[in-house]
Chain A
Amino acid sequence: MAQWPIICLLLGWAHESDKFDEQNDEYCYNINNMTRKISYAQAISEALVQAMDLDPRVFIFGLGVDDFKGIFGTTLEAAKKFGSTRVFDTPASEGALTGIAIGAALNNKRPVLVHARNDFMFLALDQMLNNASKWKYVSYGHSSVPFVVRAIIGKGWGQGPVHSQSIQSVLAHFPGLYVAMPSNPYDVKGILLKSLQVDTPAVILEHRALYNCEGEVPAEAYTVEFGQAKIVHPGKDITVLATSLMVLEALKAAQILKSEGIEMEIVDPVSIQPLDEETIITSVKKTGRLICADTSWARCGFSAEVAAMVAEKAHAHLKAAVRRIAPPPCPCPVSKPLEDAFYPTYQNILEVVYELLDRKIFSSQNRFQEVDSFVGPY
Chain B
Amino acid sequence: MNRKPKYIPAMNHKYNLNKILKRQLFETMLKIRLAEEKIVAVYHEQHMRTPTHLSIGQEAVAVGICSALKKDDQVFSPHRCHAHYLAKGGNLNAFFAELCGRETGSNRGRVGSAHLTDEKAHVYASPILGAMIPVAVGAALAFKMDRLKKVAVAFLGDAAIEEGIFTESLNFAIVKKLPVLFVCENNLYSTNSPLRVRQPPSPLYKRVSLPELSTQQIDGNDVEKVYQAASKAIQQCRRGKGPIFIECLTYRIHEHVGPLMDYDKGYRSKKEVESWIKKCPIKRFKSKLIKGRIMNSKEIDALTAELKKDMNEAYVKALQSPWPDTKTLLDHVY
Which of A's residues lie within 8 Å of B, judged by CB?
Answer: 63-64, 67-69, 88-96, 119-120, 122-123, 157-163, 328-331, 333-338, 341-342, 375-378
Q: Which of A96, A334, A336, A376 contacts B110 (CB 8 A)?
A: A334
Q: Are A330 and B329 in contact (CB under 8 A)?
A: yes
Q: Of the listed stretches B43-51, B175-183, B206-214, B234-242, name the one at the interface; the rest are far from the partner chain.
A: B43-51
In chain B, positions 136-195 with a C-beta closer than 8 Å to chain A are 159-160, 162-165, 190-193
| Chain A nearest Cβ from B175, distance in angstroms | 21
| Chain B residue contacts of A161, Cβ below 8 A | 110-111, 115
Q: Are B51 and A377 in contact (CB under 8 A)?
A: yes
Q: Are A334 and B49 in contact (CB under 8 A)?
A: yes
| Chain A nearest Cβ from B157, distance in angstroms | 9
Q: Are B190 and A63 in contact (CB under 8 A)?
A: yes
Between B128, B159, B329, the greatest number of chain A beta carbons within 10 A of the residue's beta carbon is seen for B329
Q: Are A334 and B50 in contact (CB under 8 A)?
A: yes
Q: Are A337 and B324 in contact (CB under 8 A)?
A: yes
Q: Are A63 and B193 in contact (CB under 8 A)?
A: yes
B127 at the A interface (CB under 8 A): yes
Q: Which of A158, A330, A336 contacts B333 (CB 8 A)?
A: A330
| Chain A residue contacts of B3, Cβ below 8 A | none
Cα-based distance from A371 to B46 in the complex (angstroms): 15
| Chain A residue contacts of B46, Cβ below 8 A | 375-376
Q: Are B162 and A338 in contact (CB under 8 A)?
A: no
Instruction: Report if A338-B112 is in contact (Cβ < 8 Å); known contacts: A63-B191, A158-B51.
Output: no
B2 at the A interface (CB under 8 A): no
A67-B191, A341-B329 known; 4 new pairs, CB 8 Å cut-off, are: A68-B267, A94-B163, A120-B128, A161-B115
Between A92, A123, A328, A375, the greatest number of chain B beta carbons within 10 A of the residue's beta carbon is seen for A92
| Chain A residue contacts of B201, Cβ below 8 A | none
Instruction: Report if A158-B191 is in contact (Cβ < 8 Å); known contacts: A68-B267, A331-B333, A333-B109.
Output: no
Instruction: Report if A329-B333 is in contact (Cβ < 8 Å); known contacts: A68-B267, A162-B127, A377-B51.
Output: yes
Q: Are B329 and A92 in contact (CB under 8 A)?
A: no
10 pairs, CB–CB < 8 Å, chain A vs chain B: A64-B193, A68-B266, A69-B192, A92-B160, A95-B164, A157-B51, A330-B329, A336-B49, A376-B46, A377-B259
| Chain B residue contacts of A93, Cβ below 8 A | 162-164
B114 at the A interface (CB under 8 A): yes
Instruction: Report if A67-B333 is in contact (Cβ < 8 Å); known contacts: A333-B109, A341-B326.
Output: no
| Chain A residue contacts of B267, Cβ below 8 A | 67-68
| Chain A nearest Cβ from B185, distance in angstroms | 14
Q: Are A92 and B50 in contact (CB under 8 A)?
A: no
B221 at the A interface (CB under 8 A): no
Cα-based distance from A92 to B110 in the complex (angstroms): 26
Q: Are B101 and A92 in contact (CB under 8 A)?
A: no
Instruction: Report if A68-B265 is in contact (Cβ < 8 Å); known contacts: A162-B127, A334-B49, A334-B50.
Output: yes
Cα-based distance from A89 to B159 in the complex (angstroms): 13
Q: Are B198 and A92 in contact (CB under 8 A)?
A: yes
Instruction: Report if A67-B198 is in contact (Cβ < 8 Å); known contacts: A158-B112, A161-B110, A335-B324.
Output: no
